[in-house]
């Protein structure tokens, strides 16, 4: 059975994610804000054992200190980013395998948005936690890395199975969709996704996670055929 996935809205537009096994144990991916996570843990009577951190930006780590739980046994983040993260119990790098809630997890280096950004792939459950690298209908702004780094990072993620759920860090889908349609104004898949995004948001529902198949069909950054094309797209999005 796959681990249960719980999407938790935090701050104005962030997401944290809980993974839950059938023993009532939970792992948290990113900690933008403590209160919503604490409320979900309490409501479900869960024991938080593990925190996975994708990158060092405050809106992904600042809630860690406020979690109402016994000291978390494991706090896992990138070795390359350890100097900017909260104290880690485990430092990981590209290609490492760890076990979380009994499941194998593969580490990807997805630098671009930041250098040292990582993603966590749970192949048995079919989840990938991408932080601010691959996002719903878009990708993260390049604050530290290069277009080449981000293009390579997205290429790695695009090679995962199409039914993988992409758990990204923000509710940016509507804004990303407004850009996507300018890049593909006659694409029915892009138009349909924008319409579905509007419907979901009007109903107060999340657009995250999304499937990798949907991203490959509609996300302009995953459809870029080469790094040069990706670079032009990223510059256009930054100016949009």
The pLDDT score that the predictor gives to residue 69 is 74
Output the pLDDT for position 178: 96
Give the containing element (helix H, strand E) for 176. Answer: helix 173-183
Q: Is the pLDDT of residue 61 over 70?
A: yes
Give phi and psi for 138, each to the nearest 5.
Answer: -170, -160
Partners of 129 in beta bridges: 120, 167
In this predicted structure, what is the pLDDT of residue 1? Answer: 81
* pLDDT band, very low/low/confident/very high, at 148 (cuts 50, 70, 90): very high
pLDDT confidence of residue 33: 96
132 is catalytic: yes
Per-chain mean pLDDT for the chain: 96
Confidence grade of residue 202 (pLDDT, cut at 50, 70, 90) = very high
Whether pLDDT at 70 is above 70? no
What are the tens digits of pLDDT across the range 108-138? 999 999 999 999 999 999 999 999 999 999 9
97 is catalytic: no
Catalytic residue (choose from 56, 113, 117, 121) = 113
Instruction: Report yes or no: 16 and 60 within 8 Å, Cβ to Cβ.
Output: no
pLDDT, mean of residues 63-89: 91
- Residue 170 designated active-site: yes
Q: How crowded is the C-beta side of 23, counted as CA atoms within 13 Å? A: 7
Q: Which CATH superfamily is domain 4-239 in?
A: Ribonuclease Z/Hydroxyacylglutathione hydrolase-like (3.60.15.10)
Distance set, CA 195 to CA 44, 177, 179, 189, 198 (Å): 34, 9, 14, 10, 5
200 to each of 46, 173, 195, 208, how far by Cα in Å? 28, 11, 9, 10
**Among residues 30, 81, 109, 132, which one is catalytic?**
132
Q: How much is the average pLDDT of 54-62?
A: 97
Active site residue 121: no
Segments making up each domain of the chain, as ranges: 4-239
The one catalytic residue in 30, 56, 59, 121 is: 59
Query: Is the pLDDT score of 97 beyond 80?
Result: yes
Section 96-112 average pLDDT: 97
Residue 184's SS3 state is coil
- Does residue 59 have an active-site annotation? yes
Helix (H, G, I), strand (E, B) or coil at 212: helix
Q: What is the mean pLDDT of residues 40-60?
A: 96
Q: Quote the percentage of the chain above a pLDDT of 90.
A: 97
Q: Beta 25-29 vs 47-52: how paired, if at all?
A: parallel
Picking from 37-51, 62-76, 83-97, 153-167, which range would have the lowest pLDDT averaged per residue?
62-76
Q: Name the catalytic one among 60, 81, 109, 121.
A: 60
Catalytic residue among 30, 56, 57, 109: 57
Question: What pLDDT sits at residue 73?
Answer: 86
Q: Which of 56, 117, 121, 170 is catalytic?
A: 170
Under the banding of pLDDT at 50, 70 and 90, the label for residue 98 is: very high
């Amino acid at each position: 059975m796959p681990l249960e996935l719980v999407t938790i809205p935090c701050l104005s537009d962030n997401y944290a994610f809980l993974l839950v096994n059938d023993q009532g144990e939970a792992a948290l991916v990113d900690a933008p804000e403590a209160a919503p996570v604490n409320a979900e843990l309490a409501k479900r009577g869960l024991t938080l054992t593990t925190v996975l951190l994708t990158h060092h930006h405050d809106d992904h780590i600042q809630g860690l200190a406020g979690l109402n739980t016994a000291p978390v046994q494991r706090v896992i983040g990138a070795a390359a980013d350890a100097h900017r993260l909260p104290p880690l119990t485990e430092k990981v790098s590209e290609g490492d395998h760890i076990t979380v809630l009994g499941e194998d997890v593969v580490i990807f280096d997805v630098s671009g948005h930041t250098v040292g950004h990582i993603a966590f792939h749970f192949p048995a459950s079919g989840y990938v936690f991408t932080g601010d690298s691959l996002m719903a209908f878009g990708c993260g702004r390049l604050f530290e890395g290069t277009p080449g780094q981000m293009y390579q990072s997205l290429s790695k993620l695009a090679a995962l199975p199409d039914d993988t759920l992409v758990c990204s860090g923000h509710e940016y889908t509507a804004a990303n969709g407004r850009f996507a349609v300018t890049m593909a104004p006659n694409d029915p898949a892009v138009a349909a996704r924008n319409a579905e995004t509007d419907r979901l948001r009007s109903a107060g529902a999340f657009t995250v996670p999304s499937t990798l198949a949907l991203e490959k069909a509609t996300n302009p950054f995953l459809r870029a055929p080469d790094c040069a094309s990706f670079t032009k797209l990223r510059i256009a999005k930054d100016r949009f």
